[in-house]
Amino acid sequence: MTEATADDPLVGIEHLAVIRNREAILDNVSLQIARHQLHVLVGPNGAGKSTLLSAILGLIPFSGRILLNWQASGAIGYVPQTFVVDATLPVTVEDFLALTRQRRPICLGLTRGARQTVHRLLERVALPEIARRPLAVLSGGELRRVLLAHALDPEPELLLLDEPTAGLDEGSAAWLEDTLKVIRQSGRTTVVMASHDLEQVRRLADRVTVLDRRVVAQGSTDTVLTKTGVLDLLPSQSPRAALR
């Protein structure tokens, strides 16, 4: 095994296939994800974007190869598209963020170190005032920020985001986009994001891969989104107008 260099892609995916109930969810998918870029996956509903993220995380069986060429921490952060909170559980935001940050049970209270860490994480996502709030009463935007705070500690070498702005109000979506720009500019974290929002893709992405169970197109953002026939695969949200 050779040591990874700065020129190697962080993630190399070779001939990836995922079969579920005898149906090919992904078929012969090959792509590379360069270090320190924001790489966006686009495609129609059911194209396999979430499935590809799950495969990278090692959550589902697949054939083919996924090569992770770590140079630093090897940590992966993940923000799912949906996160169901049981309203009957009396879990606060600080309880949730402290779960893996202290050894003693959360029901016995937070240690001083865990409480300081939680405060730092909530400051990072500009929500220090919600620490004692029950997780179940958060708005969609607040919950997404809490999940991002969790994903960013420890600082990941790879951050996976599944439709991170879906269903958010304009203010929350704009905040998240600004935060992703800061993360990308830091030069320490590679971001892979699934998105349906073509305006957002144009604003954020360094490279784009279009999926429809297979790789339909990939390359620089401008090249891919102006390629003939690519936009016809995407959801009917007036995509051509979005590119003006």
pLDDT digits (tens, 9 = 90+) for 89-122: 889 999 999 887 777 777 777 888 888 999 999 9
Q: Counting beta carbons within 10 angstroms of the beta carbon of residue 237, is it exposed (0 to 12), middle (13 to 18) or buried (19 or more)?
A: exposed
- In the Cβ-directed half-sphere of 211, how many Cα atoms lie within 13 Å? 27
* The residue to which tokens 């090569």 are assigned: 67
Which CA distances in Å does 186 have to 35, 78, 117, 142, 180?
12, 18, 21, 24, 10
pLDDT digit string, tens, across residues 47-62: 999 999 999 999 999 9
* The residue to which tokens 């029901």 are assigned: 107
Q: What pTM does this model have? A: 0.87
Closest CA to 179 of 140, 208, 221, 151: 151
Task: Note the pLDDT of residue 243.
Answer: 33
Domain 11-85+156-242 homologous superfamily, CATH: P-loop containing nucleotide triphosphate hydrolases (3.40.50.300)
Task: Note the pLDDT of residue 186.
Answer: 86
Strands 190-194 and 38-42 turn out to be parallel
Task: Note the pLDDT of residue 92.
Answer: 92
User: Domain residue spans in the chain?
Assistant: 11-85+156-242
Which 3 state secondary structure label does DSSP give 184?
A: helix
pLDDT lower than 70: segments of the chain: 1-7, 72-73, 228-244
The tokens of 163 are what?
């439709």
